[in-house]
Homo-oligomer: A and B are copies of this chain.
Amino acid sequence: MIKVNRYEDINNIENEAKKDYIDRHSPFVHCEKSAKAGDVFQVTVKMGEEYTHPDDLDHHIATIALYNGQTKLAESNFFAGALGGQGKKGHQTITFNIVLEKNAKLTAQSYCTKHGLWESGVIAVEVK
């Protein structure tokens, strides 16, 4: 079974290494809470809030996908080196521009070449 890791609130975690591990691998969906039907709506997915992730050849964020419910809207693949390369760290970040016609539930899923699949919480967007 392919495990999908899910975000846990790192404020409830005491172990520093575990906080870092969870935060840097978790995609966070950043967008407004409401959208106008038919308008362009920006959705940024950023890896980690407080901790950065390596951009090493054998350990980098390779994919960030954006879903609305069970439907994939878009998927970005990244090569190691895009965030500075070996020895460097960063928050892999991508901004999608989508158009919503009705209420949406956005979720991001990411893939780390060393630590597998991770999933954000669900962000509800009210569309008027």
Contacts and interface: CB of A to CB of B under 8 A. Distances in A.
A75 interface: yes
Interface string A73-96: 111111111111100101111111
A28 interface: no
B94 A88 contact: no
A119 B76 contact: no
B94 A95 contact: yes
B83 A79 contact: no
A4 to B, nearest CB: 7
B99 A79 contact: no
A1 interface: yes
A122 interface: yes
A21 interface: no
Nearest to A85: B101
Top 3 nearest A-B pairs (CB, nearest first) are A70-B116, A95-B95, A84-B99
